Chains A and B, each alone.
Chain A
């Protein structure tokens, strides 16, 4: 629902990966959100991590991981512009 002041932007996992980001599908997201203190999604609060895992499972969430751009922050804005299209 974009309504008056919003806009929906779209992309795909393939396109994100082609531009240097990492697409985390639902299975990968669930596996890194296990309640441990280590791993890629480590988080000090176990309850919040499990809550996030429940949301991922219930809503089939997936996301684009931009952490590979930490060493080249100046390029993120251009990459995002190239990655997403107006729906």
Chain B
């Protein structure tokens, strides 16, 4: 994989380095990517970098490649002209994640697609949700919205932190001289780091004074505690420190308050008056931890009430 290729781009939610679908799909260009590792365009958002680094690299990448066309990295020849990008999604839609990704953004339904991806089991769906989720929140803020456009994904991601990624052997597609069991571990590592990277992104998009900003350096903290690319050690760190840090930065109680503020139905009763069974996950481990850690739910570090303006990306 080339770091500058579509394989390493968040807009291609179906593939990552060594796992995912055989063909990729670019939600920006609405194109199936054949041999994505040799293709790119000026819109690339690198999956392996945290948001500030990815934005810096994106600015440089746009100087070298057009945003309007997928091209071969080495020749800049059109990928559509060579047949390496096309609109035939018939194979991709045979899997549930492929169907959601190829539908992503059609009819203004990005957040609905992300919600459906969050309910599909397996690493492919999680890879797609996290990759496209990064582009969604980033773009919302670029268009003048707030980091709060990502609160649902933020909550879904924190809820999954303690679960080992569900990577199957049929999710691996590299023919490389590594045992499949190790390839699987590397893929799991990539997913867990992508979870932390998504949390970090939202932290960077939030104001410095907000509690959520504490998520910015979560991936770096995790890596600093490890000597090797060892997914078990990484998960152990999350159990020991990462999960609590994430919940402290964004407690369940704050999520519920923000969600209620952002999506309140004027005809519905206020949160306090809602039926007791309205929160399906209210008995989750995170919910209980959030209740402990959030002494002032809905408040930022500065003590200010959160602004509630959000905008769809």
Contact = CB atoms under 8 A, between A and B. Distances in A.
Interface of A: 1-6, 34-36, 45-47, 49-51, 53-55, 57-60
A53 B229 contact: yes
Given A6-B74, A51-B48, A53-B228, 13 more contacts: A3-B72, A6-B75, A45-B223, A47-B50, A47-B222, A49-B223, A50-B226, A50-B228, A57-B178, A58-B18, A58-B186, A60-B176, A60-B177
- 10 closest A-B pairs by CB: A47-B223, A46-B223, A3-B75, A46-B224, A54-B229, A50-B223, A47-B219, A3-B74, A47-B220, A6-B74
17 contacts: A1-B72, A3-B75, A3-B77, A4-B75, A6-B75, A45-B220, A46-B224, A47-B220, A47-B222, A47-B223, A50-B223, A50-B228, A53-B229, A55-B17, A58-B174, A58-B183, A59-B1
Nearest to B177: A60
Given A3-B75, A46-B220, A36 B174 contact: no
A31 to B, nearest CB: 11
B265 interface: no
B157 interface: no
Contact of A59 (B176, B219, B229): B176
Given A1-B38, A1-B74, A3-B72, A57 B229 contact: yes
B178 A58 contact: yes
Given A2-B74, A47-B219, A57 B186 contact: yes
Interface residues on B, range: 20 to 34
Q: What DSSP secondary structure best describes chain B's contact surface? A: loop
A60 B48 CA distance: 18
A60 B1 CA distance: 12
Nearest to B50: A47
Contacts of B75: 3-6
Contacts of A57: 178, 182, 186, 229
Given A51-B48, A59-B1, A60-B176, A5 B74 contact: yes
B31 to A, nearest CB: 20
A35 B227 contact: yes
Nearest to A37: B224
Contacts of A50: 223, 226, 228-229
Interface in B272-296: none
Task: Name the residue among A47, A51, A54, A59 with the largest chain B CB count within 10 angstroms.
Answer: A47
B176 A54 contact: no
B25 interface: no
A6 to B, nearest CB: 5
